[in-house]
């Protein structure tokens, strides 16, 4: 299993992460990318703990996602199944499990202060933390077709996960104003919203 995990995790995190998987008897599945989530945890009908993580994540986001999902399992075991999925019990568990990994032997120095700030009060998704999300993306595959809104040139077209096409407009305070092509309605996006840049788009309306 360690050999399977090795390409997906920072080298110095591999042993500790594998020990958590063994300790909690987790069946880990590394799956194709899902637009709506980086990973998930569920208990199967046979009582098996199953965690899935997207294979497309860079090593630093993969580790954070893996520990995020293990924290769900551990929090439920410690506090019971009635707790809120991303409530205070999960936050405390995620902080405790992630703390040993937030060190320079594992994460690049430019990420450490952002991680320290994020884990004062971890959110349901790192994507809601724009600064951390943008910093993590610099370690993605450079051939990726996925961009953040702020990287899309003004006036260019892009597509979101549900297939809707937008034209990027100006920055309004902290969000980008964008026109949905089909409906003509205006929407706003956070700077770290991930989209697919359309190199060529013809408005057929």
- Residue numbers of the domain that contains 185: 146-198
For residue 22, give both structure tokens. 């063994």
pLDDT tens track for 171-181: 998 899 999 99
Torsion sign (Cα): 1, 70, 31, 152? negative
pLDDT tens track for 27-70: 999 998 766 688 999 998 888 999 999 998 999 999 999 999 99
Residue 69 shares a structural domain with residue 101: yes
For position 113, which CATH number holds?
A: 3.30.2010
Residue 132 shares a structural domain with residue 157: no
Residue 43 shares a structural domain with residue 14: yes
Would you say residue 203 lies in a domain?
Answer: no
Give the Å distances, CA to CA, from 145 to 62, 140, 158.
Answer: 19, 11, 11
Structurally, the chain folds into a number of domains equal to: 2
Would you say residue 35 lies in a domain?
Answer: yes
pLDDT tens track for 74-96: 999 999 999 999 999 999 999 99
Cα–Cα distance for residue pair 192/197, rounded to 1 Å: 14
Residue 41 shares a structural domain with residue 117: yes
Indicate if the pLDDT at residue 202 is higher than 60.
Answer: no
Residue 107 shares a structural domain with residue 27: yes
pLDDT tens track for 101-157: 999 999 999 999 999 999 999 988 888 888 899 899 889 876 566 788 988 999 999
Torsion sign (Cα): 85, 90, 95, 100? negative
Torsion of CA 187, 189, 193, 197, to 10 degrees: 50
The pLDDT of residue 169 is 95
């Amino acid at each position: 299993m360690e050999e399977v995990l090795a390409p997906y995790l920072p080298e110095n995190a591999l042993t500790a992460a594998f020990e958590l998987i063994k300790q909690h008897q987790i069946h880990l599945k590394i799956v194709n990318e899902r637009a709506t989530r980086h990973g998930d945890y569920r208990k199967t009908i046979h009582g098996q703990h199953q965690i899935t993580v997207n294979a497309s994540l860079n090593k630093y986001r993969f580790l954070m996602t893996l520990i995020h999902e293990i924290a769900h399992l551990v929090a439920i075991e410690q506090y019971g199944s009635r707790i809120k999925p991303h409530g205070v019990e999960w936050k405390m568990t995620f902080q405790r499990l992630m703390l040993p990994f937030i060190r320079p032997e594992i994460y690049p120095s430019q990420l450490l202060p952002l991680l320290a700030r994020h884990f004062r009060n971890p959110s349901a998704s790192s994507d809601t933390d724009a600064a951390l999300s943008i910093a993590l993306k610099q370690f993605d595959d450079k051939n990726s077709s996925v961009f953040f809104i702020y990287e899309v040139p003004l006036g260019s077209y892009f597509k979101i996960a549900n297939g809707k096409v937008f034209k990027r407009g100006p920055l309004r305070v902290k969000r980008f104003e964008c026109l949905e092509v089909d409906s003509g309605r205006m929407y706003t996006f956070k700077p770290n919203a991930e989209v697919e840049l359309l190199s060529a788009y013809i408005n057929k309306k």
